[in-house]
Amino acid sequence: MHPILIRLGPLTVPTYGVLVAAAYLVGISWLKSQAARMPGMDENKFWTLIYGIFFGAILGGKLLFMALEWRLYWDGELGIFRDFRYGFVFFGGLLGALAAGLILTRRLKLPFLATADYFGVALPMGHWIGRLGCLAAGCCYGRPTSMPWGVRLGGDPASSTPVPLWGVPLHPTQLYEAATDIMICLFLLRRVLPRARKGEVPAGTVFMLYVLLYSIARFINEFYRGDDRGGFWLGLSISQWLALAGIAMAGAWLARRGPRLFATAGR
């Protein structure tokens, strides 16, 4: 693992930050290449939407982290502004992005579901790169394992992995999720989005399939996570409950549109 990409005296460049920036760049670049295909989209509307969703995701991810880890702020271990770059929850970011997207598409007079379909592809397209950043930083680490593919983290003061786990084989949960994101992205990009463009499936199908598939994968992956999960209820982490909510919401939406939606994989 390499939590610091570049060291130049007092200047350090975290690998995590570079890879997260790369993730956003890849996702936004692909969306820009598809903007002409988005109904009602133009240059000004595109960048207004991108900036709004970006800040919505940052705010949502931070607010949910603060809600889950409020004791760290209460005790002074973390400061709201001093440590703003630390601690984000993906589902909080997704909810914040959704709220911003819903508000902005209405103001810009864009079809929300048809626009969201493109973001349903861009999200996993960039997210897997961000998970490589988590691996480099040593955060979002897995439980100890005896499996041959266990990864040994730590060894650098900048690592987010607790010292007692340094050198211990851990489930590479970051890679599990990265691999899942790649598979979801390819499936939606190659098999579902083309049908959505042709009107063979209802608008929103791509995005809802993303929510469903990612939520299922995240629910399973959480069982292998070894980091602080922000509390448990009935043996499940907060992220697992949010994943279950995503599965229920997306599953119900897709089911109401008929079984033909689930024949997508066979075409």
* Percentage of the chain modeled with pLDDT above 90: 65
pLDDT digits (tens, 9 = 90+) for 185-239: 999 999 999 999 999 999 999 999 999 999 999 999 999 999 877 677 888 988 8
Say if residues 250 and 199 touch (Cβ distance below 8 Å).
Answer: no
Lowest mean pLDDT, pick from 66-70, 127-131, 220-224: 66-70
Task: Return the domain boundaries, the chain.
Answer: 4-39+111-266
Res 71: pLDDT: 66
With a cut of 70, say whether residue 112 has pLDDT above it: yes
pLDDT digits (tens, 9 = 90+) for 158-182: 888 889 999 999 999 999 999 999 9
Give the span between the Cα atoms of 34 and 161, in whole angstroms: 39
E strand spans, 218-259: 232-233, 236-237
Task: Tell me the pTM.
Answer: 0.89
Give the span between the Cα atoms of 192 and 207, in whole angstroms: 10
Tokens of 96: 């914040």
